[in-house]
């Protein structure tokens, strides 16, 4: 092999050696479950316990438990419903930051209400609630309007898939 070819291949081999280590599922899910330092966003994985058991079946040492992060999954089902949209923008430079700022504002005003930041290219959207009926969504829209009068003009009810936590 020529010296030039070796110099081209060596960095690739080094990168593979450094970053090619397989990531254990519990490490990946632990990273996903910890809040982002900039946006404080947190990934919540909605899945069946059967999936978790399958993922960790061959990965965990004999007799050990699944990691706490994964074991605390939120069982739920997704059904058609309604949410209140409080923000939508496709401005490439500002939409993302404004969406997360809006999420923070809604969470501060209504801490027990679920808020979802959604990116559906090119739009960043912020939607609030998990309402089964349009009437529930209308009530939530009025609550948001009172809590955050500055977004009153931007509020509207949208059909969406909502999460219903199983109890």
Contact (CB, 8 A) for 144 and 86: yes
Residues 166, 74 contacting (CB under 8 angstroms):
no
The residues with which 89 forms a beta bridge, in sequence order, are 124
Q: Report the alpha-carbon distance of residue 45 to residue 26 in Å, rounded.
A: 13
- Is 77-165 in CATH node 3.40.50.11540? no
pLDDT of res. 12: 66
In whole angstroms, what separates CA 27 from the centre of its chain? 17
According to DSSP, residue 73 is labeled -
Question: In sequence order, which residues have a C-beta less than 8 Å from that of residue 158 and are 6 or more positions away?
Answer: 82, 83, 84, 85, 127
Lookup result for tokens 């290219």 = 121
Domain ranges of the chain: 3-71, 77-165
Question: What is the rounded average pLDDT of the residues 148-153?
Answer: 92
Q: Identify the band that residue 42 occupies on the pLDDT scale cut at 50, 70 and 90.
A: low
How many C-beta atoms surround the C-beta of residue 115 within 10 A? 18
Question: Rounded to a whole number, what is the distance in angstroms from the first to the last CA of the chain?
Answer: 64
Predicted pLDDT at 71: 45
**Which run of H or of E encompasses 19?**
helix 3-19
pLDDT digits (tens, 9 = 90+) for 88-130: 999 988 999 999 999 999 999 999 999 999 998 899 999 999 9
Q: Is the dihedral of CA 83, 34, 104, 142 positive or negative?
A: positive
- Give the pLDDT band of residue 28 (cuts 50, 70, 90): low
| Measured torsion, CA atoms of residues 123, 124, 128, 134, in degrees rounded to the nearest 10 | 0
Q: Is the pLDDT of residue 16 over 90?
A: no
Average pLDDT, the chain: 78
More confident position, 161 or 5: 161
Q: Do residues 71 and 26 make contact, with C-beta atoms less than 8 angstroms apart? A: no
Greater pLDDT, 143 or 74: 143
Average pLDDT over residues 6-16: 65
Q: According to the model, what pLDDT value does residue 164 have?
A: 79
Residue 27, pLDDT above cutoff 80: no
* Confidence at 54, pLDDT banded by 50, 70, 90: confident
Three-state SS at 56: helix
**pLDDT: is 85 or 7 the higher one?**
85
Q: What are phi and psi of 153, to 5 degrees?
A: -70, -25
pLDDT beyond 70 at 50: yes
What the block records as the tokens of 136 is 């529930």
pLDDT in the model for residue 70: 46
């Amino acid at each position: 092999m020529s010296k030039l070819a070796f110099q081209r291949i060596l960095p690739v081999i080094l990168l593979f050696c450094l970053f090619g280590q397989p990531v254990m599922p519990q490490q990946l899910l632990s990273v996903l479950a910890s809040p982002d330092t900039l946006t404080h966003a947190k990934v919540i994985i909605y899945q069946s316990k059967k999936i978790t058991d399958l993922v960790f079946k061959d990965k965990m040492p004999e007799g050990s438990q699944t990691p706490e992060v994964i074991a605390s999954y939120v069982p739920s089902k997704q059904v058609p419903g309604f949410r209140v949209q409080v923000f939508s923008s496709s401005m490439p430079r500002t939409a993302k930051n404004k969406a997360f700022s809006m999420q923070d504002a809604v969470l501060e005003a209504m801490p027990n209400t679920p808020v979802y930041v959604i990116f559906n290219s090119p739009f960043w959207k912020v939607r609030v609630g998990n309402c089964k009926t349009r009437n529930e969504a209308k009530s939530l829209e009025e609550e948001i309007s009172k809590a955050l009068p500055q977004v009153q003009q931007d509020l509207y009810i949208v059909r969406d898939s909502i999460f219903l936590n199983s109890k």
